[in-house]
Each structure stands twice: as structure tokens, then as C-alpha cells.
Amino acid sequence: MKTKTIKKITKVITMLMLIMVLGIIVAPNKVYAADVASEEEAAADESSVIGDKALAAGLAIGLAAGAGAIGMGWAIAKSAEGVSRQPEAESKIRTMLMLGLVFVETAIIYALIVAILIIFVL
């Protein structure tokens, strides 16, 4: 039962990553156009760049938050399972759980920082 669930989740994550990579490869980028003929096209290109930045930031945050939430859910479920099996090890399990959750949350915060950099610096 658990193996089937893990395989399904792995398939979903793999498909999402494949879609993301294909989107990055296939999506045309108008930033590298040769010369802009008019001001209207320049304004359209600028709005396209802003839209691309918003899309990249949204993907970064969405993937990081989604993967982090899945990881945190698994960690919490396994810690609850461990405590129910060995109540005497509750303090050690709780300590390791909190440490793991802090690391996962740190990765999500790094993704937030990258998204902010994408929007305001690039």
C-alpha cells in the first residue's frame, strides 16, 4: 500500500518537473529579439518581460511551497507514527522532527528570496 502511494507521488512529481522543463525550453523568449521597430513593440516586449518574470517567480514559489508541504506532511506523519510505536522516544522524535521542518522551511524561504530577486533585480 505505501509503496503504491510513493510510486504515484513520484510519478506526479516527475510529470510536473517534465512539464516545467518543457515549458522553459519551448516557451519563446522575446527578450532576445534583434531590433525593435517601434515604441509600441518596445512596450509590448517590456510587458512580456514583466509577465515572464512573474511566471518564473510564481513557478519558483509554487514548486518550493508544494514540495515543502509534501515533505513536511510526510515528516509529520512519520513522526506521529514513530511516537505511536515508541512513546518513550517522543522527545527525541520531536527534536528530529523540528530540526527537519526547519531545514525544509529554510529551503522554501530561499525560494522566496530567489523569486523576489527575479522580480526586482533581473
Question: 57-87 pLDDT, tens per residue?
Answer: 888 888 888 889 988 999 999 999 999 999 9
Output 60 or 36, whichever has higher pLDDT. Answer: 60
Q: Selecting from 3.40.50.620, 3.40.710.10, 1.20.140.10, 1.20.20.10, what CATH number does the domain 61-122 have?
A: 1.20.20.10
Question: 93-105 pLDDT, tens per residue?
Answer: 999 999 999 999 9
Best CA proximity match to 59, nearest among 120, 119, 122: 119
Phi, psi torsion values for 26, nearest 5 degrees: -80, -30
Say how far residue 51 (Cα) sits from the centre of its chain.
19
In the chain, where the domains are located? 61-122
pTM over 0.85: no
pLDDT at 54 over 70: yes
- The percentage of residues in the chain with a pLDDT greater than 90, rounded to a whole number, is 30
CA angle 48, 51, 52 (to 5 degrees): 85
Residue written as cell 527575479?
A: 118
CB–CB of 120/53 below 8 Å? no
Best CA proximity match to 60, nearest among 12, 4, 107: 107
Q: What is the reported pLDDT for 24? A: 64
